[in-house]
Structure 1
Amino acid sequence: MLLKAKHKKNISFFFKSLLISMQNFLKQFKPKKYKAYNKYVIVSAVYNVEKYLDDFFKSIINQRLDFKSNIYLICVDDGSTDNSANIIKKYQKKYPKNITYLYKENGGQASSRNLGLKYLKENDLNIFWVTFTDPDDFLDRDYFYEVDSFLKKQNNIAMVATNIIFYRE
């Protein structure tokens, strides 16, 4: 049985309306962004990881902890020869107050992390908590929320260690 053009439009309209209604309904269950007790810096050594960078950035930007207010990311490109720099710059353009891109000649992960720490110190960003996350890793949506909740309850703490879960590609 063939549908007339008029009925096809109605069916299309029906499904679009249904989809919009469902999206609006589901928004109420999405966890709210959380304003943090602390601010955090991620120093990330980047070397030829273009295939992971979008997932890496999404896992940080979509944190339950409000990214724009509480998380600062320093990406140190350790002489990548792939498209890593362009991908980082794309996100940096979108979040200029939260993402810094630094380039250096290849020298290894430790020298990249040290350059990130040096940048942090020289620019007096006044952020106490620093973590190192590699761009081929991704963070659980509640990672910084859980860390921040823990730190809020502690009076005298200098370091936090968290669980790591390994996945095979």
Structure 2
Amino acid sequence: MKLNELSDNPGASKDRMRVGRGIGSGKGKTGGRGVKGQKARTGVAIKGFEGGQMPLHRRLPKRGFYNPFSTDYNEVNLGRIQQAVDAGKLDAAATVTQDALIAAGVLSKPRDGVKILGQGELKAKLAFEVAAASKSAVAAIEGAGGSVKLLAGEQVSA
């Protein structure tokens, strides 16, 4: 095979449609733009325009509030952590941190910290270093012989 013999598979590429080249072409006259008016011209950007009337998105009142200081925790239940320990992905002897949970595949990406929730059963004795934990999670962890250390002065929540 030579370079000048290379070609696409039959039907792999199509010629572009040449618009505005006569009625017989099928894309003549208006060139696929419909009929007359502003949208038939080039350079039109009229999304949300209502012909001079105040647009709906400006007539409606603004609502809500974005808190720039809010925290977005990774929430993990105790049952999910126990699954990772049983599968051998999480070392029971080491401290359980956000990085350890990501390495074990329990979490996909780091956020503002980890919050441990109390759903599920924990049998392993684990030491946690997390941003937050629910009261039921702390009770279950300490009941299994483990400990919880909260980072950056966070609180135990209900």
Q: Write 1 or 2 for the structure with the bigger share of helix.
A: 1
Q: Relative contact order, CA 8 A, sep 6+: which one is greater?
A: 1
Highest CA radius of gyration, 1 or 2? 2
